[in-house]
Structure 1
């Protein structure tokens, strides 16, 4: 009986800790990005700018529900690590796919694509890409038809 009560108390503490951690974001929300290359509200935090030692930059992007980036290309590719919510990722000529917490998305160098949140939920991800290969090349807006197409 004593072991059962101990396990019950431990479970209660772990559940409370998990709920508390889920309410706290790992990174700050950052600054709201001007709506130049996206639709909806997006916040960006640069965690690590590229420098002479680490040639890749790392940022956090937080999207409100239905926010999305324009079509674009990363000359050196990009890796996205989904840390919260649900989103979409689509490469040109491929079906749009839903992405969730814990997924790692490899945006291949030179491949036209877009990513953003679902209509119901926002999405947060950590993004890293090699700066020495060049900056993001922004293309056309993602149309409502493209965004809503299943």
Structure 2
């Protein structure tokens, strides 16, 4: 009797408890970006275009292992929220950092930097930046030496 009651309670709890961890990505993979300002495969999905009320654009970027953006800067800065995988972030003149799921990276306004995936792991992040300050300023490619260093 106790065993049947226990099983019934567990079954009922499993039917009424909300699912906390969903399988699969939160956002769609998006459109594959042409290799103009990066190396490797990168997919972008715009979540929110800036408008007259909310001046921040928000996108999701998904990088295959080894993919990386060119050196660039953001006049108004940028915030990256790492949602999956392991990646790199490096500011000009500073050592490369490893970034992981759950971390937040603040790309300071006007600071030259690059970010991307590690050779072994892809990385996904949500990026947001203020549009009223200006668009991304693309510089030069991250060399293989810089990437592997």
Question: What is the TM-score of this pair, normalised by structure 1?
Answer: 0.88
- 2:137 is aligned to 137
Residue 82 (str. 1) matches residue 86 (str. 2): no
- 1:123 is aligned to 123
Residue 32 (str. 1) matches residue 32 (str. 2): yes
- 1:66 is aligned to 66
Q: Which runs of 4+ in 1 moved over 4 A?
A: 1-7
Q: State the Cα distance separating 1:17 from its structure 2 match.
A: 6.4
Q: Tell me, what secondary structure is at the counterpart of 1:145?
A: helix
Q: State the Cα distance separating 1:28 from its structure 2 match.
A: 0.3
Q: Tell me, what secondary structure is at the counterpart of 1:87?
A: strand
Using the alignment, how far apart are the partners of 2:135 and 2:65 within structure 1? 26
Q: State the Cα distance separating 1:10 from its structure 2 match.
A: 6.6
Q: Deviations over 1:27-63 (max 9, x none)?
A: 0000000000000000000000000000110000000
Q: State the Cα distance separating 1:144 from its structure 2 match.
A: 0.5
Between structure 1 and structure 2, the one with the greater Rg is 2
Residue 44 (str. 1) matches residue 44 (str. 2): yes
Using the alignment, how far apart are the partners of 1:4 and 1:69 within structure 2? 55
Using the alignment, how far apart are the partners of 2:44 and 2:105 within structure 1? 18
Using the alignment, how far apart are the partners of 2:108 and 2:137 within structure 1? 13
Two-structure CA RMSD over aligned residues (Å): 2.2
Q: State the Cα distance separating 1:141 from its structure 2 match.
A: 0.2
